[in-house]
A and B are shown apart, each in its own frame.
Chain A
């Protein structure tokens, strides 16, 4: 009997909509898969794509990004910027050989606790189907940086 694979998922949520949707889901005691661990950002536009890479490199099997519905952004239009970065990021990940399905963008308003939990449950199953990411573990990055990259970066600092 093999044990069911439990994916680890990091979720980046907007402070104004989906983080509050998670609060709403909690208040209403809606049960959902415990695989997701949320990090609060002020806006989905704050999501630096390198956070996603970092999460994968540190052990996440999937990353969920959630923001306000198009047109409802607390900061007017920043969720569109998140959308652009998301689409680019998926292509970049595909180039690395990582299934684009390991990243998911979800729109969930503060009122949509139920929607958020359904999206989380669905995403957990999708990532479960993809299996563990098995990001290669190699800790020589700092060494390479020191020996090869750092001198070049130092020369770029303007006088």
Chain B
């Protein structure tokens, strides 16, 4: 920012990339090179080159060689987005002894060649953008990365299979994990399932050992029936507030014997774990293998809280663990990284009124069927109609309920085809019924999935390709009396069909959590337009987010099956371990600094900072910025009426020069 840097004494190298033909097909790369060489010498450009692939090792060597031989003091690379290769070129410059922050990348691929078609216009725009960056880079300052120590503890939010996996990986690596789960037990959706496709393993048999391992691991603090209420700080140093909701059970005394559950005289419908099909006591654990197995007292439904009498649980508890006066606890923990494995919500099928879910008794949701086919479920594993005894003779299974549907969700829920095939198998196995599957497209891409599909075909399931229009209980012919009639266009035959069945199972799609947006805000990450959390890169960086230190795993970023969720949990854990093992984290040195000689102490900037990084020094009458708290947004810089605040990496001088450059006549 000092005045001498403004004079065109810098030696700038400009490198224009062809990116194969990605850029050169639309932008006249040589033309840009020659124009810069000719018109920007006055700004300090000493060399302009073009190369087929600047990001290749040969391309990088070209820059390194010029820095050493021509004594370049600034480098401009016109290629792809800085979000892709800024680091590559800055590292190359650093290898040649140049401060990395003296190198800038111009996006002439994402912003020009991929989005414009007129070659002359695109080339002119490329010249403008390069000119802007050349003028900007002259004003760049050499910066040093800020290093802050990293807290080795990790917070994992969500105790489903992805969260459990992530927690176990980190804990086994020797670092502490706080595993927070909203429900009374770990397990997530997987604990509700009966079998898992395509192997037909018993879901509980493979999940519960992991739950127990997490629950007893010396490096894992399991906090169930708990929610994160506040997060502050940044990568390496987050402060997290967790609300541990009152269970009315003293966990120190409770042995998990279950006598209180047995003695509790009141039953309510279990809408959560049993999907409304079964009952639970008012004091309960959601399922027998719950981890931890301390019960939770459902206060709004408890007779004692309603009427002031009962206390059966307290009377019979052998260890006096029941505590009706227990309050919510607020815990504060310090962590370095946070993994969000918050999962999904099931699509509410009653929104599709033409399928009659909630109105027609024998139309079931996928989760209801999972509970029904589970031997520890409300029907003890018997697949029966709502009357609780009649076995269905014909069953229709409908795919894509609330998925791939413009009226609800455009996305494919990824698991429904395989889940529906599993249902067909279970129905056949338990009841011998005739099974129809109504699908739009069959999607079975993962390992052993298509073989499973073949197996279900061989078992005699009837596949009808078509989106079901309506499920009705109004018969048109005697054969349809007392049945549910599925109206569908069989697109392979090209005919409308009416198929009478006894039971319909809907394969509900997966949706983002209803509160995904609020939770995202809490952790400083955002959702894509369809509501799932956005990954830093959809292909190359699927478990990190735009916010350093906040990672995502499992269905939080989109529908996934169990193997994919587990992989993501492990991947997120590996990323966290990588950070922890580095012991300190480098922060981008984009920060605000205040020139105290210019600061008049007006305190206008004081209210601008959402991170409390700006401190007013009473006795000196000036304001200062705490560089560890400053995140570099620059709002205070723009607010300062005295121009006393400057931003490293995005200073006024840099931006004003860039405006000059991009508006140069080309």
Binding site for B on A (CB under 8 A): 8, 10, 16-17, 19-20, 22-23, 25-27, 29-32, 34, 37-43, 45-49, 51, 54-55, 58-60, 68, 71-72, 74-78, 81-82, 85, 109-112, 117, 157-158
Contacts and interface: CB of A to CB of B under 8 A. Distances in A.
Contacts of A10: 659, 662-663
A110 B115 contact: no
Interface of B: 81-84, 107, 109-112, 114-118, 121-122, 125, 128-129, 132, 521, 524, 526, 528-529, 534, 546-547, 590, 597-598, 600, 608, 610-611, 631-635, 637-639, 647, 649-650, 652, 655-656, 658-660, 662-663
A54 B132 CA distance: 14
Contacts of A38: 107, 111
B110 A41 contact: no
Contact of A111 (B524, B528, B611, B656): B528
Nearest to A25: B115
B526 A60 contact: no
A34 B125 contact: yes
Given A37-B125, A77-B610, A43 B633 contact: yes
B564 to A, nearest CB: 21
Contact of B659 (A23, A27, A54): A54
B633 A75 contact: yes
Given A23-B81, A32-B115, A41 B655 contact: yes
A148 B112 CA distance: 44
Contact of A26 (B115, B529, B546, B590): B115
Contacts of B524: 74, 76
Contact of B635 (A8, A25, A34, A43): A43
B637 A46 contact: yes
4 tightest A-B CB contacts, nearest first: A26-B110, A46-B634, A45-B635, A111-B528
B663 A45 contact: no
A64 B227 CA distance: 40
A48 B107 contact: no
Given A29-B114, A59-B663, A111-B529, A46 B633 contact: yes
Given A31-B116, A42-B632, A110-B546, A58 B650 contact: no
Contacts of B117: 31
Contacts of A59: 663
B634 A45 contact: yes
B132 A39 contact: yes
B547 A74 contact: yes
A99 to B, nearest CB: 19
B639 A68 contact: no
Contacts of A40: 82
A18 B148 CA distance: 29
B405 to A, nearest CB: 20
A29 B110 CA distance: 8
Given A22-B111, A42-B590, A55 B638 contact: no
10 contacts: A10-B663, A17-B526, A27-B114, A31-B115, A34-B122, A37-B128, A48-B652, A75-B635, A109-B534, A110-B526
Given A29-B114, A34-B125, A77-B610, 12 more contacts: A16-B546, A22-B107, A22-B111, A23-B84, A25-B115, A37-B132, A42-B590, A46-B634, A58-B663, A74-B633, A78-B608, A78-B635
A71 to B, nearest CB: 7
A16 B536 CA distance: 10
Contact of B650 (A25, A34, A46): A46
Contacts of B526: 17, 68, 72, 109-110
A38 B82 CA distance: 13
Contacts of B590: 42
A9 B14 CA distance: 24
A112 B530 CA distance: 11
Contacts of B600: 158
A79 B650 CA distance: 17
A27 B433 CA distance: 49
A54 B652 CA distance: 11
A25 B652 CA distance: 28
Nearest to B637: A46
A51 B633 CA distance: 16
Contacts of A29: 114-115
A78 B663 contact: no
A40 B528 CA distance: 21
A81 B639 contact: yes
Given A26-B110, A45-B635, A110-B534, A51 B655 contact: yes
Contacts of A31: 115-117
A113 to B, nearest CB: 9
Nearest to A20: B83
A152 to B, nearest CB: 14
A49 B608 CA distance: 15
A55 to B, nearest CB: 5
A27 B80 CA distance: 10
A44 B602 CA distance: 23
A117 B110 CA distance: 12
Contacts of A16: 546
Nearest to A45: B635
Contacts of B611: 75-76
A46 B117 CA distance: 32
A38 B207 CA distance: 50
A72 B521 CA distance: 7
Contacts of A60: 663
Nearest to B622: A158
Contacts of B107: 22-23, 26, 38
